[in-house]
Structure 1
Amino acid sequence: MVVIATKLSPIQQGFYFTFSSLLALQMFFDLGLMFVIAQFSSHEFVDLSWKKNGAIDGSPLAVRRFTDLLCKTTLWFGVAALLMIIVLVPAGLIFFQQKGNVDFSWRIPWTLAVIGTALNLFVCPFFSIMLGSGEVVTVNKRELVSALSSSILCWSVLSLHGGLYAAFAVNLGGLFISWGYLLSRRPEMIKLAWRGWFGEERQQRKASGGLSWWKEIWPMQWRLAISVGSSYFIFQLFNPVLFQYHGSVIAGQMGMTLTAANALLAGSTTVFNVKVPEFGKLVANRDWKRLDDIFMDGTRRALLLALFGTVAGTSAIWALQSYTTLGKRFIPYAEAGLLFSTVFFQIVIASLAAYLRSHKKEPLMKMTILASILQGAATWYFGKHYAALGVTVAFFIINSCFIFPYTFFVWRRCKRQWHSAEAPEPLQPGTEPL
């Protein structure tokens, strides 16, 4: 953030973070499938294990279902990546053209940023499967190295006065690391995906007892797709609205502060997310006590980290705004503190949602739709009339007074119903779908 603040003008900063918000529209192309893949993978890996170079070992039925899952999801993401380029490139050009009378290049950087994001989207199914299988440390290590590589490339471009080309550099770092890892460490998984469509496994994976997309995956995916798509209006609409009504400088201040808040959220939930792949296996084995213990411990740790980060982040912005000019790149520190405080509710909401979805069900669709309507309307109205203050206050109120209590009551009701002695046994591979 310091590099962005020192190497980009306030107007460029607004373009940069609004780029990021519009690129988040990728969630309308993956339609929640990344999370669904991880959940199904965790259930399938009860009867599977990894071999050298990403090969799979297990019962013939489980291997066939895994191969089918891998092949169908790579096709989905390939088509999604292509559609993303076709749709987002011209849409972004039209949107930014309204403020496009500036003295720096933005059209080519935007186009390259969309292409880079789409190519990163295509690699997602491989790592979602690995995450669901329990390879949490491996996936997190890859994400850490990717983040470092992307940051170094971004800093290098900014230091060389590359301006908004830094948005593409961020994606380029992730591409190099992701494909480098797959080709060097998991080549057999890539070969299996290829053989599943064009080789000898194509007929085998279509045999009786295989994975049914429409009967097993789609019933969960379409609900999650609505939830994920709706969440865009909850989390990503701030910058475009402020950019449209108050200009790129205000949008840049909000974007910088949101980046800090998202970093706080991501860092805090890491201690919880490492345990999420285990949830699916515990659900399959009906080990409810162990599931609850891990859930409560992870949530508690995440909240403690968020408390420390909120105090530290708010204090840092106050100090910057009191003693340096860099503080002008953030929204006022009191508003930033309110934004950081919302992270507490987001952590609990995310934890409850992960707990529920580990049962291969999506009971939060209605809540997400209602929340997206409320947050989208509030962001537009209060953002238009009260700028960053209106957006921040509305975000805090909707999360604390609507999303959090709604999610908690759904969690409590579903937990009681699903874990009762009369509840049906969890689905096993090859049985009737959801």
Structure 2
Amino acid sequence: MSSVSLRLPFISRDLALVLSLRLWQAGAGLLTTILAVHFLSPETQGWYYSFISVAALYTLFDLGLSMVLVQVSAHASTGLHWKPDGSVEGEATSYFHALVHSALRWYALTALVFAVVIVPGGILFFGSKSSTTIHWVAPWLVLCGLTAAGLLITPFLSILEGAGQISRVYALRLSLAVCGSIACWATLAGGAGLWATVMVPAATLLIPLVWLVRYRRGLLQIASRSAGHRFNWRHEVWPQQWRLGINLLCGYLLTQINIPILFHTQGAVIAGQLGLSLAIVNTLGLVAQSWITRRVPLMARAAATRDWPTLDRMFKRDFTMSSVIFVVMAFGVLAMDLLFADTKYAHRVLPFWQLAGLLVFVFSNQLIGGLAAHLRSFRREPFMSTLATTAILTLPLIVWAAAHYSSAGLVAVLAAVNLFLNLPIAFFIWYRCNRTWRHDS
């Protein structure tokens, strides 16, 4: 693992796989959008995206641990080497074993709590809008079960990614994305409606599980037995985890929760328009973030060794590339919206100016996320208090705007808060912390 180079090739194998995953997600998202419009009624489309949005609460139960584990594993795996059976050897082996075992224990508890909360919570929420034409209970139960079980796979992929196995992890994620998308399309085309929502979670659970049993059985054995070395979770992980968890909660309150809010206040049709629009613009963000995502372990190692020139080169070039690519794709989406303005597809997404406002909101999130990824190389999370404050202040305004001005008011609030409040504050914090932490480290 220590052989991972800090050289900066423009298109490395890691970037090629990360980009392949993001481009597949973009193309698959577009085809899913087309199939959803073709095979689902406007009402069912609202249920479809509301299901996905509520199930996405699993990210809050994760508390940002999947991202923290990449950072911690990048530090913990220095000097270790993989053995043929999927285990590791080296000076810090016992520490690494303790990390893997503790992470699995944490995720097992997280999966249990998620299932206990989300199943009855979803039944109460969707039951209040129950329709005789929508059969939703069985798909909801299966979706929750598969999502909860999939949480048990998460720590292995994060630890492997942080340990330098980026190509293998993203090849695996690409495989499950392809299989999950194809299964989703077949389910939509077969007229199974809401059952399409369970296909990606099913692939997310089963494909990595088979791969781990086949190629990383040693890692599974490490996770299943108690480690001799005691891992200090409170000191090593928790300080960054709870701060990042609050950031993710704030992000959810400013993005995904808006679909259930519109579902409740304006009905399934408008909620479906927002859900489809968010799926499109978030896909642009995923593709653009590829340039930064593939650098996370390397930036963490550069910060750990105080190699500031390498850290700066990686971040500045990839941050700029990520931003430019998002802007180009955003103009492409708006052009397509105008080109197909008279088709039923355009009527299933938000109107043009609302879609433009949503792109502004997501682009500002993209910039904030890039700055946060850079600062997390220091294993710190500086944006927590700011995002928490703005989310608390903004959420009541979002609910009011959605109730009185529908999706137009909601999008206006989101774009204005991010562009004129969150983004300037984030740049100020990034500039200050970047200088102070280097001096103190």
Q: TM-score, normalised by structure 1?
A: 0.91
Q: Deviation digits for residues 292-333 of structure 1, max 9, x if unmatched? A: 1110111111112111210111122222222x1122111112
Matches of 2:71 and 2:222, distance apart in 1? 20
Does residue 1:309 correspond to 2:337, yes or no?
no
Query: Which residues in structure 2 correspond to 1:62-81 (within 5 Å)?
Result: 62-81=92-111
Could you tell me which of 229, 243, 260 is aligned with 1:205? 229
Q: Deviation digits for residues 77-131 of structure 1, max 9, x if unmatched? A: 1111111111101101110112102312101111111111111111100001011
Contact kept, 8 Å, 2:80 with 2:89, in 1: the verdict is yes
Correspondence for 1:241: 261
Correspondence for 1:364: 383
Could you tell me which of 42, 46, 58 is aligned with 1:26? 58
Matches of 2:50 and 2:393, distance apart in 1? 21
Matches of 1:255 and 1:68, distance apart in 2? 41
Matches of 1:4 and 1:167, distance apart in 2? 11
Give the drift of 1:48: 1.6
Give the drift of 1:228: 2.0
- The answer for unaligned runs of 5 or more in structure 2 is 1-32
Does residue 1:128 correspond to 2:158, yes or no?
yes
Q: 1:5 is aligned with what amino acid?
A: V
Give the drift of 1:230: 2.5
Give the drift of 1:212: 0.9
Could you tell me which of 278, 291, 296 is aligned with 1:271? 291
Does residue 1:13 correspond to 2:45, yes or no?
yes
Does residue 1:102 correspond to 2:121, yes or no?
no
Correspondence for 2:72: 40
Contact kept, 8 Å, 2:360 with 2:419, in 1: the verdict is no
Give the drift of 1:229: 2.1
Give the drift of 1:378: 2.6
Contact kept, 8 Å, 1:314 with 1:334, in 2: the verdict is no
Does the residue aligned with 1:300 lie in a helix, a strand or coil?
Answer: helix
Matches of 2:150 and 2:436, distance apart in 1? 39
Does residue 1:328 correspond to 2:347, yes or no?
yes
Q: 1:29 is aligned with what amino acid?
A: F
Correspondence for 1:430: none
Correspondence for 1:298: 318
Matches of 2:51 and 2:217, distance apart in 1? 33
Matches of 1:407 and 1:122, distance apart in 2? 33
Q: Deviation digits for residues 235-254 of structure 1, max 9, x if unmatched? A: 21110110000000000010
Could you tell me which of 358, 361, 377 is aligned with 2:396? 377
Query: Which residues in structure 2 correspond to 1:275-294 (within 5 Å)?
Result: 275-294=295-314
Could you tell me which of 403, 408, 422 is aligned with 1:389? 408
Correspondence for 2:29: none
Matches of 2:251 and 2:422, distance apart in 1? 11
Correspondence for 1:428: none
Q: Deviation digits for residues 277-299 of structure 1, max 9, x if unmatched? A: 11110011101111011101111
Correspondence for 2:430: 411
Matches of 2:409 and 2:164, distance apart in 1? 42
Does the residue aligned with 1:227 lie in a helix, a strand or coil?
Answer: helix
Correspondence for 2:5: none
> Pairwise CA RMSD of aligned residues?
1.3
Matches of 2:103 and 2:368, distance apart in 1? 27
Does residue 1:164 correspond to 2:194, yes or no?
yes
Q: 1:326 is aligned with what amino acid?
A: Y
Task: Extract structure 1 runs of 4+ deviating beyond 6 A.
Answer: none
Matches of 2:210 and 2:390, distance apart in 1? 39
Contact kept, 8 Å, 2:71 with 2:296, in 1: the verdict is no
Give the drift of 1:336: 0.9
Matches of 1:49 and 1:404, distance apart in 2? 41
Q: 1:242 is aligned with what amino acid?
A: L
Does the residue aligned with 2:130 lie in a helix, a strand or coil?
Answer: coil
Correspondence for 2:30: none
Correspondence for 2:365: 346
Matches of 1:412 and 1:273, distance apart in 2? 21
Could you tell me which of 218, 231, 247 is aligned with 1:188? 218
Give the drift of 1:17: 0.5
Correspondence for 1:56: 88
Does the residue aligned with 1:180 lie in a helix, a strand or coil?
Answer: helix
Correspondence for 1:398: 417
Contact kept, 8 Å, 1:237 with 1:379, in 2: the verdict is no
Q: Identity over aligned residues, as a percent?
A: 32
Q: 2:283 is aligned with what amino acid?
A: A
Contact kept, 8 Å, 2:261 with 2:399, in 1: the verdict is yes
Give the drift of 1:68: 0.7
Give the drift of 1:184: 1.6
Q: Deviation digits for residues 335-355 of structure 1, max 9, x if unmatched? A: 112212333322211111011
Matches of 1:338 and 1:224, distance apart in 2? 26
Give the drift of 1:414: 0.7
Q: Deviation digits for residues 9-41 of structure 1, max 9, x if unmatched? A: 111110111111111111231111111111110
Matches of 1:409 and 1:342, distance apart in 2? 19
Does residue 1:86 correspond to 2:144, yes or no?
no
Matches of 1:79 and 1:368, distance apart in 2? 27
Contact kept, 8 Å, 2:150 with 2:205, in 1: the verdict is yes
Correspondence for 1:431: none
Matches of 1:146 and 1:393, distance apart in 2? 36
Matches of 1:270 and 1:50, distance apart in 2? 26
Correspondence for 1:429: none
Q: TM-score, normalised by structure 2?
A: 0.90
Give the drift of 1:177: 1.6
Contact kept, 8 Å, 2:65 with 2:241, in 1: the verdict is yes
